[in-house]
Each structure stands twice: as structure tokens, then as C-alpha cells.
Structure 1
Amino acid sequence: MQKYCLFLDLHEDRELIEEYKLLHQDVWPEIIASIKNAGITNLDIYNVGNRLCMFIEADADFSFEKKGKMDAENEKVQEWESLMWKFQKALPQAKEGEKWLLADKIFELK
């Protein structure tokens, strides 16, 4: 199993943040299917203020490159992503076209 932690910001607008949260209470079934089909076995998103943190657990065959290719070819995923950009803004460290940024693990308690 692989584990990942990613970050993204939302626009600093309380109403938009609440709408974003509501949309994630009823994520489209096609989006759930695309996540699972990519090899992701668990995905959690946490929120504080306008910052989001996403934890992913995935099988050994998962890769962000493969997921990106699958997403690019999925019309419903592209529709969802376009909708999400209404709420999201890239972190200052993001390169052109990047959304979620992968965090470096610096500590693990075992």
C-alpha cells in the first residue's frame, strides 16, 4: 500500500467554502468510480479555514501519471474538475496547471 498527503487552498470566501463542503457530501458516482478504478483504496479530505489536506491510500500499481491520464480521458471527471476550480486555488508553490501538491513526509511514529 502506498500513502500520500496533498494540499490545496480554497478561495477565501465562506459561502464558497460551505458550498464546496456540501458538494463533497454527495460526490458524483462517476467520480467515486474513477478514484477506485485508479487503484485508490481510501481517500479522505480535511479542511481548516481555506486549506484542504487530502490523504490517499492506494494499491501498489497506483501512479499519479496513470490517474492523470485516466482523468483526462473521462468526460465526467473533467466536468467535476471544472466545477471544483470555482472553489479551488493553487498553492503559491504550484507550477502552471497543478492543483493538489504532494507533501513530503518528514516524520512517522511507528
Structure 2
Amino acid sequence: MQKYCLALDLNNDPVLIAEYIEFHKNVWPEIQKSITDSGIINLEIYNIGDRLFMIIEANSNFSFKEKEKLDAENPKVQEWETIMWRYQKALPQAKEGEKWILMDKIFELK
């Protein structure tokens, strides 16, 4: 199993942040299916203020490149992503059109 941690910021507006959280209490079934179909076993999103932190646990076949390709071909995922952009803002390190940024692990207690 592979584990990834990613970060993203939200627009710093309490109303928008509350709406974003509500969307994630009822994620569309098609979005959940697209996540599991890509090889993701577990996905968690944490929030503090306007900052989000996501942990992905995926099988050994998972690839961000393949997930991006599948998402681009899925109209329901594209609809969801269009809605989510209303709430999200890219981190300064993001490339054009990129949202979630993969974080580097700098410590692990074993």
C-alpha cells in the first residue's frame, strides 16, 4: 500500500468554507466510485481554517497520472471539480490548473 499527503487552501470566506464542508458530508456516489476505481483504498480530508490536508492510501497500481486521465474523461468528475473550484484556491507552488499539492514527508516516528 502507498500513502500520500496533499495540501490545498480554500478561499478564506467562512460561508464558502461551510458550503465546501457540507459538500464533503455528501460526496456524490459517482465521485466516490471514481476514487475507488482509481485504486484508492482510503481517502481522508482534514480542515483547519482555510487549509485542507488530504491523506490517500492506495494500492500498488495507483498512479496520479492515470487518475488524472480517468477524471478528465468522466463528465461527473468534471462537474464536481468545476463546483469545487469555487471554494478552492491553488497554493503558490501549484502549476497552472493544479489544485492539490503533494507534500514531502519530513519525519516519521517508527
TM-score bracket for the superposition, by shorter chain length: over 0.9
SS in 1 for 2:53: strand
How many pairs align?
Answer: 110
Matched, 1:95 2:72: no
Partner of 2:68: 68
Q: Structure 2: give runs of 5+ residues left out of the alignment.
A: none
> What amino acid is aligned across from residue 7 of structure 1 in structure 2?
A
- TM-superposed CA distance for 1:4, in Å, is 0.2
Partner of 1:14: 14
Query: Hey, what's the Cα distance between the residues in 1 that align with 2:69 and 2:24?
Result: 23
SS in 1 for 2:105: coil
Cα distance per residue 1:85-104 (max 9 Å; x no partner):
00000001111111000000
Q: Structure 1: give runs of 5+ residues left out of the alignment.
A: none
SS in 2 for 1:41: strand
TM superposition score normalised by structure 1: 0.99
Query: Hey, what's the Cα distance between the residues in 2 that align with 1:25 and 1:43?
Result: 13
TM superposition score normalised by structure 2: 0.99
Partner of 2:40: 40
**After TM superposition, which residue ranges in structure 1, 4 or more long, deviate above 2 angstroms?**
none
